[in-house]
Structure 1
């Protein structure tokens, strides 16, 4: 069966300090897990300058649904908290079509960096972010918010980073405008470690807003 990524590992101390550190993504895989194929090399692109916001930041509002037409994602949100271990809890492993957002950080559309995470696969098969690595610059990401607005983000880059050399500051740093990070596992599956070796990160900025 396809493997499940390890748990999100965001130390509570990093949250207090105002920046998040992404060590690994998601829960223990099945013992008989097989590696996911990796058609693209895990090569990080050159550092990207933060994209300027083209619309004003939105007030805080909880995200309710994520839609990414280009990779057929239509998923509800669940809030993610820091668990007893001091790490951020992952989305439920028994729901392959759910994404989580760090609820003590920026909500999507607010000023700052909103963090959204999802599984690439689960014990039962492919999951919501299976094709996240295939997204392209300019792709649209629509997030419906509790206040009825729909925040549309445009992708600036899609990059793969080794978990042993993850650019924490670049991914989680506060930003002057509303930005979004979509994160999942990627790269080669290490059977011995029962974990993927890399993380896939989508960098995006707020492009437009629709109000109901």
Structure 2
């Protein structure tokens, strides 16, 4: 069954009662198809599997407990998420802005397949865990701590922005042969009437592991 995007619906950029702040949007050169003169992405096959390079051995299944992204000083605990009554991916509690969620009905980060983590870009109280996700670039490193005492290490392949009515569920949520990771949040513009107009999706592949 394919999931549908539900991350960040109803999020607001108004906080502290008076001021607004816009989350950084991904650079066009960090998308899968960079513009002329931009940085070309590594080759990716049509199934969305890991780019053609040395592939580390997938890790065994282990529940993830923490997400770290050093480039943007992100260090957040992970909670387990499922699907809501309409089959949409649940989102973490918005009362804790530094909290991300792992879809526990799918693959564990580091294991063979496509692991899904989502989080809010902001809440009414201010910027949230994935506020700076759009500031990342290809090659940046993501670490996911696991209960088995190892951290799965991923490298960013691309960051894409999709309109909510054109969200590519099969590409984002579909199975992969190699150990991959998707981080998902809201983005793609904002209006007071509708909230965020789209979703930001980060694609990454496993590059190794280390002791936590």
TM-score by length of 2: 0.82
How far apart, CA to CA, are the structure 2 residues paired with 1:39 and 1:121?
Answer: 12
Q: Distance in 2 between matches of 1:88 and 1:42?
A: 26
Kindly tell me the number of residue pairs found equivalent between the two proteins: 193
Quote how far apart the aligned CAs of 1:27 are: 4.7
Structure 1 residues 60 and 76 mapped into 2: Cα distance closer, same or farther (>3 Å)? same
CA distance in 2, matches of 1:40, 1:190: 15
Distance 1:141 1:32 in 2: 29
Say if 1:87 and 1:152 are closer, same or farther in 2 by CA, change over 3 A. Answer: same
Partner of 1:28: 10
**Residues 141 and 155, structure 1, Cα contact 8 Å, conserved in 2:** yes
Write out per-residue CA displacement over residues 43-102 of structure 1, whole angstroms, 9 at most, x where no aligned residue.
664394332472111111000111000011000000001223433221000000000010
The aligned residue for residue 112 of structure 1 is 113
The 8 Å contact of residues 80 and 90 in structure 1, kept in 2 or not, is answered as yes
Post-superposition CA distance 1:106-144 (Å, at most 9, x none): 010111100000111111101110110111111000000
Distance 1:58 1:72 in 2: 25
Cα contact 2:9–2:186 (8 A) shared by 1: no
Cα displacement (A) at 1:20: 2.3
Taking a change above 3 Å as real, the CA distance of residues 153 and 28 of structure 1, as seen in their structure-2 partners, is same
In structure 2, the partner of 1:204 is 204
Q: Deviations over 1:138-159 (max 9, x none)?
A: 1000000001011000001111
Unaligned runs of 5+ in 2: 34-40
Q: Distance in 1 between matches of 2:59 and 2:71?
A: 25
1: CA distance, partners of 2:158 / 2:132: 15
**What is the TM-score with the length of structure 1 in the denominator?**
0.82
Alignment partners' CA distance in 1, 2:21 and 2:9: 16
Question: 1:176 aligned to 2:161?
Answer: no
Distance 1:209 1:144 in 2: 10
Deviation of residue 41 (structure 1)? 7.5
Q: Distance in 1 between matches of 2:82 and 2:101?
A: 10
Q: Which is further off, 135-144 or 81-90?
A: 81-90
CA distance 1:35–1:20, shift in 2 (3 Å): farther
In the other structure, the counterpart of 1:37 is 22
1:190 pairs with 2:175: no
Asked if the contact 2:25–2:187 (Cα under 8 Å) also holds between the matched residues in 1, the reply is no
**What is the CA RMSD across the aligned residues, in angstroms?**
2.4
The answer as to 2:122 corresponding to 1:121 is yes
Q: Does the C-alpha gap of structure 1 residues 137 and 67 become closer, same or farther in structure 2, counting only changes over 3 Å? A: same
